[in-house]
Structures are given as structure tokens and as C-alpha cells.
Amino acid sequence: ALNLALALLFIGPVDRMAVWLFRMLPDPTPSADPGAPRYLERAALETASVALVNAAREALRMADMVEAMLKGALEVFRNENRRRAREISQMDHTLDLLGVAVHRYLAEISGEELNEEDSLRSQEIFTFTINFDYIGDIVAVMMAEFATRKIKRGQPFAPEELEEVAGMHAMVLESLNLGLAVFMRGDEQTARQLMERKKLVWQAEKRAAERYFQRLRETDAQNGKADDSYLRVLRDLKRIHSFIAALAYPILDRAGQLQERLVEMTTPELRESEVSAPAATEEKSNPLTVNPN
């Protein structure tokens, strides 16, 4: 009876005590710096297959960060938030740190000489991180320019411009998901689908630019004070898409389909900032990257 009475006495305050402790205890410290690698375990370096999986997982963290930057960029375009624009630009530094960590890890994979399959996968991961590093740079500069040229001057995008930017932005995100599928699965069909979307994005950018110049002619450029920030954003989104589409190049190259796909893109503009192909080895071509210029 005594034990029962004591239990009833203390059951009541338990919930209130838990709330009090929750308020008094400090928030948990984040487990790691966002720029610190999570999966690059040094113990796995002696086993190439395991180490490459670790490197790929870390590379996917970079892709997640780029996706967050891109989604945040659209928020900035819509809400004209300079603080958010600065935050997104600063994320590029974290992206750089992760990229460097992955590159060093790939260079340290030891043990027996890599077989052909592991060597190709290592190159794919390296190219993947380089491309996403470039994308991060583009987004960071795009945010800095938008904050300076548009928000600070109080010149937001016109509704029709914002709608067109959002449309191309959605196409880029869709291709990003395809690109990640190509990177993880190495599927030729998905790689071809990703490659084919490049022309669609170029056409969307071209149509949007034509509509912009038409509006410019109709308004007489407001006494010569027209701002080309809208065209800059469209161009940057197209460049970002080019780096994403490049994820398909190694897969199509190994299947002997890359040159055929590039030849199909007969429009001169589609070849701008196209492939910068390194010298091929006797047996296999190296994965191709997009020229960042």
C-alpha cells in the first residue's frame, strides 16, 4: 500500500518535470560541421569498392546541397530577400570543402591497382563533384548579382519574367533528378533521356529571351534603362543544366553513343560551352566534362 501511495504521489508531476527539463537543457550540438565529410572512412581505403561507395555517398551530399541552393534561389527571386541570397552564396564554400575532401579521398584509395570498372567509377565520381562544384559557383554568383542588381535597386522581376524563370528552374530540377539516377545506376536509357532534355532547355531559354526583347521593343526600354538581369538568370540556368546533362556523357561514351548524340545537336548555340573532351586512352575515353567558360 505504501509503494502504491508513493507511486501515485510522483506520477502526477512527471510530465511537468519532463517539460521543465526539456526547457532547461541546452539544444543538442550539431553532430558535425556541414562542410565536414560524413562517409569518407579511412579504414575503407584499402578496399576500393567500399571506398568508392563512400565517396559516392559524399558526392550525393553535394548534390543535395546544390538542390537546396537552387530551390532557395527561386525563393529569393520571388521574395527578394537579400539575407537569404547571402546565405545561399555562402553555402558554396561548404560545397567547395566537400568537393576537396572527396578528391583527396579518391586520390588515397590504395591497395591493389584499381581494375577498369573501379577506375571508371572513380573518374565518374570525380567528374560528378567537379560539375556540382561549378553549379554551386554559378548559383552563388547568380545570387550575389541578383541581390545587387535587382533587390538593392528595387527592380524585381516582372510577373511574366518570374513565371518564365520558374518554368526553366523546374526543368533544371527535373533534370537534376534524372542526373542523380544516371550517376547511381549508370542506366543508358536514362542517360539518353537526360541528354535529350538539353535541347528542350535551350529552346525554352531562346523563347523566353525572344519574348523579353519583344516586351523591350514595346516599352521602348523605359528610356534606355533596361536591365539584363533576367537574361543573365536564364543564361545561368542553362549553364547549370549543361553541367547536369554532362552526367550522361560517361555512360553514353562507354556505350559508343556520345558522339552520335552530340551530332544530333546541330544547332550552333547548343554547341556553345559544350564538351571539353580530354585525350582518350587507348582503351577508354575519360569521362567528359562541360567547359565552364
| One pLDDT digit (tens) per residue for the chain, 293 residues | 545 444 444 445 544 544 443 344 444 444 558 889 999 999 999 899 999 999 999 999 999 999 999 999 999 999 888 889 889 999 999 999 999 999 999 999 865 578 889 999 999 999 999 999 999 999 999 998 888 777 666 777 888 889 999 999 999 999 999 999 999 999 899 999 999 999 999 999 999 989 888 888 877 555 545 567 888 999 999 999 999 999 999 888 887 877 776 656 655 454 444 443 333 333 333 434 454 44
Note the pTM of the prediction, 2 decimals: 0.77
The pLDDT of residue 263: 57
Domain 40-290 CATH (choose: 2.40.100.10, 1.20.58.220, 1.10.357.140, 1.10.287.70): 1.20.58.220
Write the CA distances from 193 to 4, 38, 190, 226, 284, integer angstroms: 70, 32, 5, 37, 23
The pLDDT of residue 226: 56
